[in-house]
Amino acid sequence: MGKTQYFTATSIDGFIADQDNSLDWLFQADANGESAGGQQYRAFFEQVGAIAAGSTTYEWVLEHEQMLEKPEKWPYHGTPCWIFTHRQLPAVPGADITFVHGDVQAVHQQMAAAAGDRNIWLVGGGDLVGQFADHGLLDEIMLSVAPATLGGGAPLLPRTLLPGELALTGCRADGPFACLTYAVRVRRGDDPLCAS
Ligand SMILES: NC(=O)c1ccc[n+]([C@@H]2O[C@H](COP(=O)([O-])OP(=O)(O)OC[C@H]3O[C@@H](n4cnc5c(N)ncnc54)[C@H](OP(=O)(O)O)[C@@H]3O)[C@@H](O)[C@H]2O)c1
């Protein structure tokens, strides 16, 4: 079974969108195209077998990319997506999208079955990822930290995960971004990371 990963860009002060749900600050960060982000994203995405996102994130993609009018632009064709919402939202024509609500555990089982040996990508937002973490279903956090502070907005991960629960496993510069990877230590006695 693959990993369940939260892969996202964030501001220095821990927001993944500003108070207007805008990502302009993120696009500005790499305006000069100095990062190898696209290449790294492709390598990451090749290993993804299932995707989950909350409704704000989904609606941002619908609106920003005019996805209902241009469904061929849907970036995840061939990869099943689970969108969490209590509402009835339009599906992108031809996309493999399942709308779900409530407990993330059962959905995670479906996602793991679909993903097989590949990874599960939790796109966000932060509270949805927190719901997976609450159930010990988050294995890895992969961050591209942009050189920006926003002072408010959509939180990266509104949960308490203390140093004993997170291990830094990767740290490198990519153009203007700091790329950080953390393993999330599961809270089980049999986990080797918890042995010391
Ligand atoms: N920086 C980045 O790389 C990055 C990555 C991802 C997202 N983003 C942005 O960050 C923002 C995230 O927005 P957000 O914080 O509002 O998070 P979100 O997870 O995208 O949306 C939250 C909504 O998802 C639904 N939801 C969450 N958990 C649910 C559950 N268990 N059952 C049913 N529905 C559930 C609820 O919507 P309903 O009202 O529909 O029930 C909730 O209001 C967006 O603007 C997005 O574009 C940025």
- The string of DSSP codes covering the chain is ---EEEEEEEETTSEEE-TTS--HHHHHHTTT--S-HHHHHHHHHHTEEEEEEEHHHHHHHHHHTTTTT-GGG-TTTTS-EEEE-SS--PPPTT--EEEE-S-HHHHHHHHHHHHTTSEEEEEE-HHHHHHHHHTT---EEEEEEES---SSSEES--S---GGGEEEEEEEEETTEEEEEEEEPPS-TT-GGG--
Pocket mutation for ligand 1, best pick of 27, 30, 41, 85 (most atoms within 8 Å of C-beta): 85
Q: Whose CA is nearest to atom 4 of ligand 1?
A: 16
pTM: 0.95
**What is the residue-level pLDDT of the chain in tens, covering all 196 positions?**
999 999 999 999 999 999 999 999 999 999 988 898 888 999 999 999 999 999 999 999 999 999 999 999 999 999 999 999 999 999 999 999 999 999 999 999 999 999 999 999 999 999 999 999 999 999 999 999 999 999 999 999 999 999 999 999 999 999 999 999 999 997 544 444 444 3
- Give residue 150's Cα distance to chain centre: 19
Cα(106) to centroid(ligand 1), Å: 19
Task: Measure the CA–CA gap between 51 and 17, rounded to whole angstroms.
Answer: 19
Residue 14, token pair as written in the block: 């821990």
Which residues does residue 52 pair with via DSSP β-bridges, in sequence order? Answer: 82, 122
| Bond into 125 cis (ω within 30) | yes
What gap in Å lies between CA 9 and CA 14, rounded to an integer?
9
CA 40 centroid distance within chain? 15
Our mutation pick for probing the ligand 1 site, out of 5, 7, 16, counting the most ligand atoms within 8 A of Cβ, is: 16
Q: Measure 196 CA to ligand 1 centroid, in angstroms.
A: 36
Place of tokens 């892969």: 7
Query: CA-CA distances (angstroms) from residue 29 to 33, 45, 46?
Result: 9, 22, 25
For residue 53, report the distance from its CA to the centre of ligand 1, in Å: 6
Q: Which of 55, 64, 100, 121 is the pocket-test mutation for ligand 1 (most atoms within 8 Å of CB)?
A: 55
Between CA 55 and CA 105 the distance in angstroms is: 18
In the reported structure, the alpha carbon of residue 127 is separated from the centroid of ligand 1 by a whole-number distance in angstroms of: 7
Tell me what pLDDT residue 187 has: 56
Best substitution site from 57, 101, 127 to test ligand 1's pocket, by max atoms within 8 Å of Cβ?
57
Q: Which residues line ligand 1 (CB under 6 A)?
A: 8-9, 16-17, 21, 23, 26, 53-57, 60, 84-87, 101-102, 104, 123-126, 128, 131, 154
Rg, C-alpha atoms of the chain: 17
